[in-house]
Structure 1
Amino acid sequence: MGAGIAHALLLAGADVTLVERDDDAAAAAHGRIGRALQVSAGRGQIDDADRVLARMQLATSAGSLAATDLVIEAVPEDLELKLQTLRRIEANVAADTVIATNTSSISLDTLTDALQEPHRFLGLHFFNPVPASKLIEVVTTEVTGPDLTEIATGWVEALGKTAVVVRNSPGFASSRLGVALGLEAIRMVQEGVAAPQDIDAAMTLGYGHPTGPLRLTDLVGIDVRLGIARYLEAELGPRFSPPQLMVDMVERGELGRKTGRGFYPWADET
């Protein structure tokens, strides 16, 4: 997700600093983004992929973020990891830097516990694949000022995307609805109602969804969606209880596209 956000920002003309946990992760991200920019060049979105890539700096320390206007946290959906990351960011950026989280489900009220200045914090929830997606959720808290919401909405528009402003609540709007649909689709597979491809076809052809809920779960990561479901179950009740099939697939390492197998085979795309 972090690489996708960096890719989208680069396409929009921004200078980007990408902070990874170590040199190996930074090199891997550089390779992914470079390949993605080559695809963008092939589609006519940019003229020179190498020149665009040159606007990205790689780092392994939050100290490299000192001169940035906006920092977007995009670490995995682990509460303690996010809290630690946000503390490091705030300790290393300027007083007027906006800090955003890309969390897809964790309440921002919980994440503000990590910050000394929560008024400059909000959610920018991107969607996969980030460069092609049309939407970003701008998630506000009770202390997010209207000026910051307006600024963030402007950034979203500069990326060529549409902003929807959502009041902070578990799962916001998109994850809450999307995960509910995905969980029910998994229950249907578990109960033998239909094959994954037929369930997805029902939603793409019958309801006009661009991607079926099971294919989308593979793309997001079955483990990622399991974590979101468990969080929403704890916050909102048993209607978000994950199906046993989902738990079993994660235990077997069948996580979707990133492992080569989920509800679909992805061996040629890992």
Structure 2
Amino acid sequence: MAGRQQMEWARIRADNGTEVTGVVEDGMLHPRAALGSAESAGGPIPLAGATLLPPCIPGKFIGLWNNFKAAAERNGWDTPEHPLYFLKPLSSLAGPGATVTLAPDLGRVLFEGELGIVIGKTCSHVSVEEAAEAIFGYTCVNDITALDILNADPSFPQWTRAKGFDGFGVIGPVIQTDVNWEDLTVKVMVGERERQSYPANDMIMSPAQIVSKLSADMTLEPSDIIACGTSIGARPIKAGQEVTVVVDGIGALPVTIAD
């Protein structure tokens, strides 16, 4: 990736079935050779009639837990010195407009509206300043969680299983490269009702701090996704509901829940 040349990036499936990554402008997708590339890969494609896909395909999908001050205070959690995180399998990846089918006997399943960091260049053991430069942009995330599965076995919290079912890692609709994360508010609508709303600037660790600290544990690579964690207001969802994560400045990320 070459950095922040453009503001809004998306990935679509065109009418002919071709999957294309490019820059969104005036209702058109302008294809590029790769995410972040300035090299054109064809003429513009109308977004009308195209299917929005997850805006990138990450090599790693990392999710944070306990990264918001309000939630930590309400639950009596200590402030972590290092990100507390898990990995979601790539088979959980879903995009805007997807249908998320709940497997039988999952018990309570929660939405978790989150801000997602998209990595723009390979980084390992980087400083906070270098980490800020490695962030390509931001997207919306719905980190769906089978809460009863997570705590079903008292000897082993099942983070991967609880957060790894097909469709439980929703990202999109686009990646915004020209946005100040501190100005953003993460909201979740269930149908027409607002069920979650919190400021991104309540994070315990900033995006640059998160990237810096994670880069000491593993090499982060272009298109990797880091979900910054959620705050107060995550609630159960059920079949038949439409759940939409909304971040003004990025967009709306809807999914339909089915069984």
TM-score interval, normalised by the smaller of the two chains:
under 0.3
Please identify which structure carries the higher helix content: 1
Q: Normalised by the size of structure 2, how large is the TM-score?
A: 0.24
Decide which structure has the larger Cα Rg and report it.
Answer: 1
The answer to which structure, 1 or 2, has the higher relative contact order (CA under 8 A, 6+ apart) is 2
Please identify which structure carries the higher strand content: 2
